[in-house]
Structure 1
Amino acid sequence: MSDHSHLTLLGEQTVRYPQTYCPTILESFNNKHLNNDYFVKFNCPEFTSLCPITGQPDFATIYISYVPNIKMVESKSLKLYLFSFRNHGDFHEDCINIIMKDLIALMDPKYIEVWGKFTPRGGISIDPYANYGKAGTKWQEIAFTRLANHDCYPEKVDNR
Protein backbone atom coordinates (compact mmCIF):
# COMPACT_ATOMS: atom_id res chain seq x y z
CA MET A 1 0.00 0.00 0.00
CA SER A 2 1.34 3.44 -0.94
CA ASP A 3 1.78 6.30 1.48
CA HIS A 4 -0.30 9.26 0.31
CA SER A 5 -0.01 11.18 3.59
CA HIS A 6 1.75 14.04 1.78
CA LEU A 7 -1.43 14.80 -0.19
CA THR A 8 -3.01 17.62 1.77
CA LEU A 9 -6.06 18.39 -0.40
CA LEU A 10 -7.51 14.97 -1.20
CA GLY A 11 -10.13 14.12 1.38
CA GLU A 12 -10.06 17.62 2.89
CA GLN A 13 -13.68 18.52 3.67
CA THR A 14 -13.19 22.29 3.64
CA VAL A 15 -12.23 23.45 0.16
CA ARG A 16 -10.34 26.71 0.01
CA TYR A 17 -10.38 28.07 -3.52
CA PRO A 18 -7.35 30.20 -4.38
CA GLN A 19 -8.15 33.79 -5.36
CA THR A 20 -5.00 34.27 -7.45
CA TYR A 21 -2.87 32.15 -9.77
CA CYS A 22 -1.33 29.48 -7.54
CA PRO A 23 0.98 26.81 -9.03
CA THR A 24 2.14 25.78 -5.55
CA ILE A 25 -1.27 24.19 -4.90
CA LEU A 26 -0.43 21.35 -7.32
CA GLU A 27 0.32 18.02 -5.65
CA SER A 28 1.72 14.79 -7.07
CA PHE A 29 1.93 11.13 -6.17
CA ASN A 30 4.01 8.21 -7.42
CA ASN A 31 3.10 6.35 -10.60
CA LYS A 32 2.59 2.68 -9.67
CA HIS A 33 2.96 1.51 -13.30
CA LEU A 34 6.45 2.63 -14.26
CA ASN A 35 6.83 -0.17 -16.82
CA ASN A 36 3.75 0.90 -18.79
CA ASP A 37 3.43 3.84 -21.16
CA TYR A 38 -0.14 5.09 -20.92
CA PHE A 39 -2.09 8.31 -21.28
CA VAL A 40 -3.92 10.08 -18.47
CA LYS A 41 -6.45 12.60 -19.75
CA PHE A 42 -8.28 15.38 -17.94
CA ASN A 43 -11.21 17.25 -19.46
CA CYS A 44 -11.84 20.53 -17.69
CA PRO A 45 -14.98 22.12 -19.20
CA GLU A 46 -15.33 25.01 -16.74
CA PHE A 47 -12.01 26.84 -17.09
CA THR A 48 -12.12 30.61 -16.81
CA SER A 49 -9.51 33.33 -16.94
CA LEU A 50 -9.54 37.06 -17.59
CA CYS A 51 -8.52 39.00 -20.67
CA PRO A 52 -5.41 40.95 -19.61
CA ILE A 53 -6.55 44.01 -21.59
CA THR A 54 -10.32 44.24 -21.02
CA GLY A 55 -10.68 42.24 -17.80
CA GLN A 56 -13.59 40.35 -19.39
CA PRO A 57 -13.92 36.65 -18.57
CA ASP A 58 -12.81 34.00 -21.03
CA PHE A 59 -14.29 30.50 -20.89
CA ALA A 60 -12.74 27.29 -22.18
CA THR A 61 -12.58 23.55 -22.01
CA ILE A 62 -9.02 22.54 -21.21
CA TYR A 63 -7.80 19.11 -22.28
CA ILE A 64 -4.69 17.82 -20.54
CA SER A 65 -3.19 14.52 -21.68
CA TYR A 66 0.08 13.13 -20.41
CA VAL A 67 2.19 10.00 -20.26
CA PRO A 68 3.43 9.79 -16.68
CA ASN A 69 6.99 9.19 -15.70
CA ILE A 70 7.61 8.82 -11.96
CA LYS A 71 5.08 11.39 -10.68
CA MET A 72 1.41 11.99 -11.46
CA VAL A 73 -0.75 15.02 -10.72
CA GLU A 74 -3.42 14.64 -8.04
CA SER A 75 -6.78 15.62 -9.58
CA LYS A 76 -8.23 17.73 -6.76
CA SER A 77 -5.11 19.87 -6.65
CA LEU A 78 -5.33 20.21 -10.44
CA LYS A 79 -8.95 21.36 -10.14
CA LEU A 80 -8.02 24.00 -7.57
CA TYR A 81 -4.98 25.05 -9.62
CA LEU A 82 -7.12 25.56 -12.74
CA PHE A 83 -9.61 27.50 -10.60
CA SER A 84 -6.75 29.83 -9.62
CA PHE A 85 -6.81 31.24 -13.18
CA ARG A 86 -10.33 32.63 -12.57
CA ASN A 87 -8.98 36.06 -11.57
CA HIS A 88 -5.75 35.76 -13.56
CA GLY A 89 -5.28 37.98 -16.59
CA ASP A 90 -3.43 36.34 -19.47
CA PHE A 91 -4.01 35.66 -23.14
CA HIS A 92 -5.34 32.21 -24.08
CA GLU A 93 -2.01 31.11 -25.51
CA ASP A 94 -0.21 32.14 -22.32
CA CYS A 95 -2.63 30.23 -20.08
CA ILE A 96 -2.11 27.01 -22.04
CA ASN A 97 1.68 27.29 -22.00
CA ILE A 98 1.74 28.23 -18.30
CA ILE A 99 -0.43 25.20 -17.43
CA MET A 100 1.82 22.90 -19.44
CA LYS A 101 5.04 24.28 -17.94
CA ASP A 102 3.70 24.10 -14.38
CA LEU A 103 2.72 20.45 -14.90
CA ILE A 104 6.13 19.66 -16.40
CA ALA A 105 7.80 21.24 -13.35
CA LEU A 106 5.57 19.20 -11.03
CA MET A 107 5.73 15.79 -12.71
CA ASP A 108 8.54 15.67 -15.28
CA PRO A 109 6.26 13.58 -17.55
CA LYS A 110 7.44 11.58 -20.53
CA TYR A 111 4.94 13.48 -22.68
CA ILE A 112 2.26 16.11 -22.14
CA GLU A 113 -0.15 18.14 -24.23
CA VAL A 114 -2.52 20.89 -23.21
CA TRP A 115 -5.27 22.11 -25.51
CA GLY A 116 -7.59 25.01 -24.76
CA LYS A 117 -10.87 25.33 -26.63
CA PHE A 118 -12.06 28.81 -25.76
CA THR A 119 -15.58 30.00 -26.46
CA PRO A 120 -15.83 32.77 -29.04
CA ARG A 121 -15.66 36.40 -28.07
CA GLY A 122 -16.10 39.02 -30.72
CA GLY A 123 -16.98 36.34 -33.26
CA ILE A 124 -13.75 34.35 -33.02
CA SER A 125 -12.57 31.42 -30.92
CA ILE A 126 -8.95 30.71 -30.08
CA ASP A 127 -7.83 27.12 -29.49
CA PRO A 128 -4.14 27.06 -28.46
CA TYR A 129 -2.33 23.73 -28.25
CA ALA A 130 1.05 23.11 -26.63
CA ASN A 131 2.96 19.90 -26.11
CA TYR A 132 6.26 18.56 -24.83
CA GLY A 133 8.20 15.32 -25.07
CA LYS A 134 11.03 14.53 -22.70
CA ALA A 135 14.33 15.38 -24.37
CA GLY A 136 16.48 12.47 -25.45
CA THR A 137 13.56 10.00 -25.49
CA LYS A 138 11.16 8.70 -28.13
CA TRP A 139 8.61 11.11 -26.65
CA GLN A 140 10.53 14.11 -27.97
CA GLU A 141 9.97 12.88 -31.53
CA ILE A 142 6.37 11.95 -30.79
CA ALA A 143 5.78 15.49 -29.50
CA PHE A 144 7.09 17.00 -32.74
CA THR A 145 4.99 14.64 -34.86
CA ARG A 146 1.81 15.34 -32.87
CA LEU A 147 2.41 19.09 -33.05
CA ALA A 148 3.15 18.98 -36.78
CA ASN A 149 -0.04 17.01 -37.42
CA HIS A 150 -2.21 18.66 -34.78
CA ASP A 151 -5.73 19.51 -35.84
CA CYS A 152 -5.19 18.54 -39.48
CA TYR A 153 -8.83 17.53 -39.49
CA PRO A 154 -10.60 19.99 -37.19
CA GLU A 155 -13.91 19.00 -35.71
CA LYS A 156 -17.19 20.47 -36.80
CA VAL A 157 -17.54 23.53 -34.59
CA ASP A 158 -21.16 23.56 -33.51
CA ASN A 159 -20.84 22.78 -29.83
CA ARG A 160 -19.86 26.14 -28.38
Structure 2
Amino acid sequence: MTRQNNSISDITHLGNQGTEYTFDYNPNLLETFENQNQHRDYFVKFNFPEFTTLCPITHQPDFATLYISYVPEINMVESKSLKLYLFSFRNHGDFHEDCINTIADDLIKLMDPKYLEVWGKFTPRGGISIDPYVNYGKKGTKWETIAADRLAQHDMYPEKIDNR
Protein backbone atom coordinates (compact mmCIF):
# COMPACT_ATOMS: atom_id res chain seq x y z
CA MET A 1 0.00 0.00 0.00
CA THR A 2 1.67 3.20 -1.15
CA ARG A 3 0.42 6.75 -0.90
CA GLN A 4 0.28 8.24 -4.36
CA ASN A 5 -1.86 10.38 -6.59
CA ASN A 6 -3.66 7.83 -8.69
CA SER A 7 -5.63 8.64 -11.78
CA ILE A 8 -8.85 6.86 -12.59
CA SER A 9 -6.96 4.59 -14.99
CA ASP A 10 -4.92 3.26 -12.03
CA ILE A 11 -8.02 1.82 -10.32
CA THR A 12 -8.08 -1.95 -10.85
CA HIS A 13 -11.01 -3.26 -8.77
CA LEU A 14 -13.90 -1.04 -9.90
CA GLY A 15 -15.62 -2.51 -12.95
CA ASN A 16 -13.51 -5.66 -12.85
CA GLN A 17 -15.86 -8.58 -13.53
CA GLY A 18 -13.21 -11.06 -12.37
CA THR A 19 -12.91 -9.74 -8.83
CA GLU A 20 -11.36 -12.23 -6.46
CA TYR A 21 -12.39 -12.02 -2.83
CA THR A 22 -9.85 -12.74 -0.13
CA PHE A 23 -10.74 -13.28 3.49
CA ASP A 24 -7.25 -12.87 4.89
CA TYR A 25 -6.28 -9.38 6.03
CA ASN A 26 -4.74 -7.50 3.11
CA PRO A 27 -4.22 -3.71 3.16
CA ASN A 28 -2.72 -3.90 -0.34
CA LEU A 29 -6.27 -4.16 -1.71
CA LEU A 30 -6.83 -0.45 -0.99
CA GLU A 31 -6.68 1.96 -3.93
CA THR A 32 -6.95 5.72 -4.20
CA PHE A 33 -7.96 8.32 -6.71
CA GLU A 34 -7.37 12.06 -6.71
CA ASN A 35 -9.80 14.37 -4.92
CA GLN A 36 -11.32 16.63 -7.58
CA ASN A 37 -12.57 19.12 -4.97
CA GLN A 38 -9.42 20.02 -3.08
CA HIS A 39 -10.58 23.64 -2.88
CA ARG A 40 -13.06 22.81 -0.06
CA ASP A 41 -13.39 20.67 3.03
CA TYR A 42 -16.12 18.03 3.00
CA PHE A 43 -16.89 14.71 4.64
CA VAL A 44 -17.07 11.34 2.93
CA LYS A 45 -18.88 8.71 4.99
CA PHE A 46 -19.03 4.95 4.46
CA ASN A 47 -21.46 2.69 6.32
CA PHE A 48 -20.47 -0.97 6.22
CA PRO A 49 -23.18 -3.08 7.95
CA GLU A 50 -21.60 -6.44 7.10
CA PHE A 51 -18.19 -6.30 8.77
CA THR A 52 -17.00 -9.60 10.20
CA THR A 53 -13.82 -10.65 11.93
CA LEU A 54 -12.80 -13.43 14.29
CA CYS A 55 -12.24 -13.38 18.02
CA PRO A 56 -8.50 -14.04 18.46
CA ILE A 57 -9.16 -16.36 21.41
CA THR A 58 -12.33 -18.34 20.56
CA HIS A 59 -12.14 -17.92 16.77
CA GLN A 60 -15.90 -17.27 16.77
CA PRO A 61 -17.14 -14.64 14.32
CA ASP A 62 -17.84 -11.11 15.45
CA PHE A 63 -20.21 -8.87 13.48
CA ALA A 64 -20.35 -5.09 13.31
CA THR A 65 -21.52 -2.09 11.41
CA LEU A 66 -18.56 0.16 10.64
CA TYR A 67 -18.82 3.89 10.11
CA ILE A 68 -15.84 5.46 8.37
CA SER A 69 -15.82 9.23 7.83
CA TYR A 70 -13.02 11.36 6.49
CA VAL A 71 -12.15 14.76 5.10
CA PRO A 72 -9.93 14.18 2.08
CA GLU A 73 -6.96 16.24 1.09
CA ILE A 74 -5.40 14.93 -2.13
CA ASN A 75 -6.21 11.21 -2.15
CA MET A 76 -9.53 9.47 -1.64
CA VAL A 77 -10.15 5.77 -1.07
CA GLU A 78 -11.94 3.97 -3.90
CA SER A 79 -15.08 2.35 -2.47
CA LYS A 80 -14.83 -1.09 -4.07
CA SER A 81 -11.25 -1.45 -2.89
CA LEU A 82 -12.41 -0.44 0.59
CA LYS A 83 -15.13 -3.10 0.47
CA LEU A 84 -12.63 -5.78 -0.58
CA TYR A 85 -10.22 -4.63 2.13
CA LEU A 86 -12.93 -4.80 4.81
CA PHE A 87 -13.92 -8.28 3.57
CA SER A 88 -10.29 -9.30 4.10
CA PHE A 89 -10.86 -9.13 7.87
CA ARG A 90 -13.20 -12.15 7.66
CA ASN A 91 -10.57 -14.66 8.81
CA HIS A 92 -8.46 -12.13 10.71
CA GLY A 93 -8.30 -12.79 14.44
CA ASP A 94 -8.08 -9.59 16.43
CA PHE A 95 -9.92 -7.77 19.20
CA HIS A 96 -12.58 -5.24 18.17
CA GLU A 97 -10.49 -2.30 19.33
CA ASP A 98 -7.45 -3.50 17.39
CA CYS A 99 -9.43 -3.99 14.17
CA ILE A 100 -10.76 -0.43 14.33
CA ASN A 101 -7.30 1.00 15.00
CA THR A 102 -5.77 -1.09 12.20
CA ILE A 103 -8.38 0.19 9.75
CA ALA A 104 -7.72 3.78 10.82
CA ASP A 105 -3.94 3.34 10.53
CA ASP A 106 -4.21 1.76 7.08
CA LEU A 107 -6.50 4.51 5.77
CA ILE A 108 -4.32 7.28 7.22
CA LYS A 109 -1.24 5.73 5.61
CA LEU A 110 -3.09 5.32 2.30
CA MET A 111 -4.74 8.72 1.96
CA ASP A 112 -3.09 11.13 4.41
CA PRO A 113 -6.52 12.72 5.03
CA LYS A 114 -7.15 15.95 6.89
CA TYR A 115 -9.46 14.10 9.29
CA LEU A 116 -10.62 10.51 9.74
CA GLU A 117 -12.79 8.57 12.16
CA VAL A 118 -13.67 4.89 12.37
CA TRP A 119 -16.44 3.64 14.62
CA GLY A 120 -17.31 -0.02 15.02
CA LYS A 121 -20.67 -1.00 16.48
CA PHE A 122 -20.34 -4.70 17.24
CA THR A 123 -23.32 -6.91 17.95
CA PRO A 124 -23.51 -8.29 21.48
CA ARG A 125 -21.83 -11.53 22.36
CA GLY A 126 -22.05 -12.83 25.88
CA GLY A 127 -24.49 -10.05 26.71
CA ILE A 128 -22.18 -7.13 25.92
CA SER A 129 -21.57 -5.04 22.83
CA ILE A 130 -18.33 -3.19 22.20
CA ASP A 131 -18.26 0.03 20.16
CA PRO A 132 -14.65 1.19 19.66
CA TYR A 133 -14.10 4.62 18.15
CA VAL A 134 -10.88 6.18 16.90
CA ASN A 135 -10.20 9.43 15.12
CA TYR A 136 -7.31 11.38 13.66
CA GLY A 137 -6.67 15.00 12.72
CA LYS A 138 -3.68 16.04 10.66
CA LYS A 139 -1.03 17.52 12.94
CA GLY A 140 -0.53 21.26 12.74
CA THR A 141 -3.95 21.91 11.18
CA LYS A 142 -7.36 22.86 12.53
CA TRP A 143 -8.29 19.19 12.09
CA GLU A 144 -5.93 18.19 14.91
CA THR A 145 -7.99 20.35 17.29
CA ILE A 146 -11.28 19.16 15.82
CA ALA A 147 -10.21 15.54 16.36
CA ALA A 148 -9.31 16.20 20.00
CA ASP A 149 -12.65 17.97 20.58
CA ARG A 150 -14.60 15.26 18.78
CA LEU A 151 -12.93 12.54 20.85
CA ALA A 152 -13.64 14.41 24.09
CA GLN A 153 -17.32 14.77 23.10
CA HIS A 154 -17.67 11.32 21.54
CA ASP A 155 -20.83 9.46 22.44
CA MET A 156 -22.02 12.07 24.94
CA TYR A 157 -25.54 11.21 23.85
CA PRO A 158 -25.49 7.49 23.09
CA GLU A 159 -28.26 6.03 21.01
CA LYS A 160 -30.95 3.79 22.42
CA ILE A 161 -29.69 0.20 22.29
CA ASP A 162 -32.34 -2.31 21.32
CA ASN A 163 -30.09 -5.34 20.87
CA ARG A 164 -29.16 -4.07 17.40
Q: TM-score, normalised by structure 2?
A: 0.95
Q: CA RMSD in A?
A: 1.0
Counterpart selection for 1:53 from 50, 57, 75? 57
* SS across alignment from 2:62: strand
Which runs of structure 2 are paired with 1:71-150 in the superposition (5 Å)? 71-150=75-154
How far apart are the structure 1 equivalents of 2:30 and 2:128? 32
Instruction: Letter of the 2:116 partner, please give it.
Output: I
Q: Check whether the contact 2:123–2:163 (CA below 8 A) recurs between aligned residues.
A: no
Aligned residues: 159
2:3 paired residue number: none
TM-score normalized by the length of structure 1 = 0.98
Which letter does structure 2 place at the counterpart of 1:45? P
| Residue identity matched to 2:72 | P
Aligned to 1:24, the other structure's residue is in SS state helix
Where does the alignment leave 5 or more consecutive residues of structure 2 unmatched? 1-5
Moved more, 10-19 or 58-67: 10-19
My pick for the range that moved more, 12-21 or 61-70, is 12-21
Query: For 1:67-97, what per-residue CA distance to the aligned partner results, in whole angstroms no more than 9, with x for missing partners?
Result: 0010000000000000000000000000000
